[in-house]
Chain A
Amino acid sequence: MIMIEIKNVTFSYRVTDTVGNPVLRTGVSGLNLTIRDGEFIVLTGSSGCGKTTVCRLINGLIPHYFDGEKSGEVLLNGRDISAQPIYETAQTVGSVFQNPRSQFFNVDTTSELAFFAENQGRAPEKIRSDIQEISDKMELSELLGRSMFKLSGGEKQKIACGTIAVADSSVIVLDEPSSNLDTNAIEDLRKVLAMWKEQGKTVVIAEHRLYFLRELADRVILFESGEIKKEIAGKEFRELSADATKELGLRTVQSHSASAFKEWKETMEYFTLTNFRFSYPDKVHGIDISSLTLPKNKIIAIVGHNGAGKSTLARTFCGLHKKAKGTVKLGDKTVPVTKMLDYCYMIMQDVNHQLFTESVQEEVLLSVSESLPETEREQIARNALEMLDIEKYAEMHPMALSGGQKQRVAIASGIAADKEFILMDEPTSGLDYVHMKQVAGVMEMLKEQGKTLLVITHDDELISCCADYILYLEKGSVKHSGPVDIRYDGV
Chain B
Amino acid sequence: MQAVISFKESGGRATLDPRTSILSIFVISMVMIGGGLSGVEYWLRLFCCLIPFVFLVTVHNYQFAAIYLGLYLFSAVIEGAVIQLTSGGWNLLFVIVAGIISRFLAPMVMGYCVMQSTTVSEFVTAMERIHVPQVITIPLSVMFRFFPTISEENKAVSEAMRMRQISGKKQSLIKKMEYELVPVMMSTVRIADELSQASLTKGLGGDIKRTHICEVGLRIRDYVLMLFLLVVTVLFVVY
A interface list, Cβ under 8 A from B: 59-61, 64-65, 85-91, 93-95, 97, 99, 101-111, 114-116, 118-124, 127-128, 131, 145-150, 163, 167, 318, 320, 341-342, 344-346, 348, 350, 352-357, 366-367, 370, 399, 413, 417
Contact = CB atoms under 8 A, between A and B. Distances in A.
Contacts of A88: 206
B15 interface: no
Interface of B: 7, 9-12, 119-121, 141-142, 144-145, 148-149, 152-153, 156-157, 159-166, 169-170, 178-179, 182-183, 186-187, 190-191, 194-214
A102 B141 contact: no
B197 A87 contact: no
B202 A119 contact: yes
B156 A118 contact: no
Contact of B206 (A87, A105, A318, A341): A87
Contact of B197 (A61, A93, A145): A61
A94 B200 CA distance: 10
A140 B231 CA distance: 47
Contacts of B12: 145
B10 A145 contact: yes
Given A341-B162, A348-B160, A353-B157, A87 B141 contact: no
Nearest to A64: B200
Contact of B213 (A114, A148, A355): A114
A385 to B, nearest CB: 17
A102 B198 contact: yes
A350 B211 contact: no
B166 to A, nearest CB: 7
Contact of A355 (B183, B190, B196): B183
A107 B194 contact: no
A107 B202 contact: no
**Interface of chain B: mostly helix, strand, loop or mixed:** helix
B10 A102 contact: no
A167 B161 CA distance: 42
A119 B210 contact: yes
Contacts of A146: 10
A61 B201 contact: yes
B163 A105 contact: no
Contacts of B161: 356
Contacts of A344: 163
Nearest to A89: B201
Contact of B214 (A90, A104, A111): A111
A93 B159 CA distance: 39
B160 A124 contact: no
Given A107-B9, A320-B159, A121 B196 contact: no
Contact of A124 (B170, B182, B211): B211
A342 B165 CA distance: 8
Contacts of A111: 119-121, 213-214
Contacts of B208: 87, 119-121
B198 A367 contact: no
Contacts of A352: 183, 186-187, 190
A106 B160 CA distance: 28
Given A108-B9, A346-B163, A119 B206 contact: yes
Contacts of A104: 145, 198
Contact of A107 (B119, B164, B204): B119
Nearest to B208: A121
Contacts of A119: 202-204, 206, 208, 210
B156 A353 contact: yes
